[in-house]
Structure 1
Amino acid sequence: MINDSSIRLRPATPDDAERVAEALVRNRAHLRPWSPHRPADFFTARAQANLLADPSARRWLLVDPTPADGPRVVGAATLSNIALGPFRSANLGYWVDAEYTRRGLATRAVEEVCRAAREELGLHRVEAGTVLANTASQGVLRACRFELIGTAPRYLHIDGEWRDHRLFQRILHDGPPNAAP
């Protein structure tokens, strides 16, 4: 797990809901250009507790334990749409707090999540997409050995419009599906 400059990456639990909601409210404007429209209740602890309890996804939090008012969530990474069987794949999403960008936290979080995807879930591949203008996120993916697999026109409704996305994948292993955990 990440443990650099006191920032740690750890699995999320429903008990983290209030701090996740606080982080999302704090970063609402920062994340808006890269995020779908979110209803107001998305930014509540109740909505975040429901998302954190969802068994169809695995979530990790970047946590800074040093603030005087207690540990602060400063980012997250999520594997969603986890498919097992012969596909063994998932979608990756991640974000970092506006005050913590450009420290390599996203790169280290993505690397750790890919390790967990391979070693703990036995996944074969992880896919991620970015809006065309999100060059910082594309740099993270390239640094983490993701390869560009194409551009998807009008892929997701982001910040009020259907946006084209660059799609990336990382092959984690080429062993047979039944050899994975």
Structure 2
Amino acid sequence: MIVPAVRVTGEIQMRPLVQADAEPLARAYTRNRAHLRPWEPERPEDFFTPAGQAARVGGRLGEQREGRALSLVLADAGRIVGAMTLANIVMGPFRSTDLGYWIDAEYTGRGLATTAVELVCELAGERLGLHRVQASTLVGNLASQRVLGKAGFASIGMAPDYLHIDGAWRDCLLFQRVLNDHRPPL
């Protein structure tokens, strides 16, 4: 699936992940390690290295080739400042996906996440033909909950012990955005 780069805000573009992003991603994750720790799974040390990111990017691109995921990065003049992932893409009568995202600590509070989430939803509905996007946040992640609310997501419930984050099973709030009412192809 070919997805064009799009301008998110100012000089920041959202574009498809490529293998050459491994080293810039390693730098971005290292730079944001403390910022992301409360919201992400525990990471092995090699996650923060170019080699670790090269393996991870290769896996993501394989899922993308199989139509199971779409990985995008947010770049400001070539510097990666965030990522958006549509994972677990399911077609057929379900036509749904799970959204994950993060934004560099230096770029939070500027509306970047909200705009990027809105653009990803537009892409999911118009280019991928999906009906629904689901996202989850830790109960205490109020900033992410605000982003989802501004981007048109509705709360659909709470999932106890949903994700293993920062060393423990955590409760999450679930959100969804219904993108359209198109009938799936037969």
Q: What's the TM-score once normalised by structure 1's chain length?
A: 0.92
Matching residue's letter, 1:156? L
Match of 2:117 among 85, 110, 120: 110
1:26 corresponds to: 31
Q: Which runs of 5 or more residues in structure 2 are unaligned?
A: 1-5
- Secondary structure in 2 matching 1:164: strand
Equivalent residues in 2 for 1:64-143, closer than 5 Å: 64-65=76-77, 71-143=78-150
Query: Percent of counterpart pairs with the same letter?
Result: 56
Is 1:17 the equivalent of 2:22? yes
- Secondary structure in 2 matching 1:42: helix
1:151 corresponds to: 158
Q: What's the TM-score once normalised by structure 2's chain length?
A: 0.89
Q: How many pairs align? A: 174
Q: Is the 8 A contact 1:154 1:163 kept in 2?
A: yes
Equivalent residues in 2 for 1:39-50, closer than 5 Å: 39-45=44-50, 46-50=54-58
1:63 corresponds to: 75
Q: Is the 8 A contact 2:139 2:171 kept in 1?
A: yes
2:3 corresponds to: none
- How far has the Cα of 1:3 moved from its partner? 4.2
Q: Is the 8 A contact 2:69 2:86 kept in 1?
A: yes
Q: Which moved more, 1:133-142 or 1:14-23?
A: 14-23
Find the aligned partners of 1:138 and 1:44 in 2 and give their Cα distance. 30
> Over aligned residues, Cα RMSD in angstroms?
1.3
Q: Which runs of 5 or more residues in structure 1 are unaligned?
A: 66-70
Stretches (4+) displaced over 4 A: none
Deviations 1:16-73 (A, max 9, x none): 11111110111111000000111122223323332442323101111010xxxxx210
2:180 corresponds to: 173
1:2 corresponds to: 7
- How far has the Cα of 1:5 moved from its partner? 2.2
